[in-house]
Amino acid sequence: MIKHKEEMTEIDNLMLPRAFRVKDLIWETGAGDIYTWELAAESGEAFYFSPGQFNMLYLHGVGEVPISISSDSESGKLIHTTRAVGSVTRAMQDVKLNDVIGLRGPFGRGWPVKEAENRDLVIMCGGMGLPPLRPLIYYVLNHRKKFGNVFLLYGARSPLEIVYKTELEKLQHEKVIQVKVTVDKKEGQWDGPIGVVPSLLDQIEFNRENAVAMLCGPEIMMHYGRLALNRHGVDDGRIFVSMERSMKCALGHCGHCQWGADFVCKDGPVYRFADIAQRFNVREL
């Protein structure tokens, strides 16, 4: 049965992709598999969201994938940075400027920015964990006086795989927040730190009694990052992680992302670690 517009429910609207046009396209790394889109709604509306939320991007005839939003949440702009790892995101590599895609969102629970206010903030990320944290970084820069010392600790597998490299260098130069970047292996002219991201904690000084930490990246990185933070005096109640397990519908209906009693797409993707500590390392839960 075809529904008339006035009969459409909220869920119907959330399931219906809106048309967005690719306004800008940037290839991010020397590895050639990470790309950034700036999207503009065909309706002309600005796009607002909370740092840490995601959208479902739909490519006609191919499929749909959840992608974290990577723009400034207060700018009205919409930016997504994606790595080509599956059939849909590989097909999206062929999308060109001015092509139109479908979009649903924003969805999910984002970073608890209010909990970090008046505290030191440690932002820890690895690889493609930086794009979901980028809106949080923008928020901090926009409201810098609300936060104590802020540290961005980022790691990539190699210098060629560092995303937003120019932006990171600018932040390092301006020193509004403290930025440290490490790689797993040295290549080319790299003369920075070599090693895993949690090791960077030993190079910074922060208030261990009130600091809040926000982590995103491979689960193994977040596991050891949490342990390192614990050793530095940050308990699980002040650690937040972004989980992105098997999200398919974004509404909690399909069941693909069920994790214990939660559905990651609507109860997450951001969680306080104390709330998930017992199940974090349980595979296939």
Q: What is the pLDDT of residues 203-259, one digit of tens each?
A: 999 999 999 999 999 999 999 999 999 999 999 999 999 998 778 888 888 889 898
Burial readout 64-92 (b: 16 or more C-beta within 10 A, e: otherwise): bbbbbbbbbbeeebbbbbbbbeeebbeeb
Amino acid found at 259: W
Q: What is the mean pLDDT of the chain?
A: 92
According to the model, what pLDDT value does residue 29 have?
81
Query: Please, are residues 212 and 237 in contact by the beta-carbon 8 Å criterion?
Result: no
β-bridge pairing 18-27 and 100-107: antiparallel
Specify the domain boundaries for CATH 3.40.50.80 within the chain. 113-242
Alpha-helical runs (H) found in the chain: 10-15, 87-91, 113-116, 130-142, 165-174, 219-231, 264-267, 273-276
Specify the domain boundaries for CATH 2.40.30.10 within the chain. 5-107
CA dist., res. 166 & res. 171, Å (int): 9
The position carrying tokens 């097909």 is: 91
Helix H or strand E segment including 75:
none
Select 5-107's CATH number: 3.30.310.50, 3.30.300.30, 2.40.30.10, 2.40.110.10. Answer: 2.40.30.10
Q: Which residues contact 205 (CB under 8 A, 6 or more apart)?
A: 149
Q: Which residue from 87, 92, 131 is spatially nearest to 269, judged by alpha carbons?
A: 131
Report, as an integer, the average pLDDT of 150-158.
96
CA dist., res. 30 & res. 27, Å (int): 8
Report, as an integer, the average pLDDT of 151-168.
94
Report, as an integer, the average pLDDT of 90-105.
96
pTM for the structure as a whole = 0.93
CA dist., res. 73 & res. 71, Å (int): 6
Least confident of 109-113, 213-217, 264-268, 278-282: 278-282
Q: Which residues contact 169 (CB under 8 A, 6 or more apart)?
A: none
Number of H helices, E strands in the chain: 8, 14
According to the model, what pLDDT value does residue 186 have?
84
* Residue 6 reports pLDDT greater than 70: no
For residue 264, the 8-state DSSP code is H
CA distances to 23, 65, 204 from 89, in Å: 18, 8, 36
What length does the chain have? Answer: 285
Amino acid found at 216: C
* CATH number given to 113-242: 3.40.50.80
* Phi (first) and psi of residue 26, to 5 degrees: -130, 135
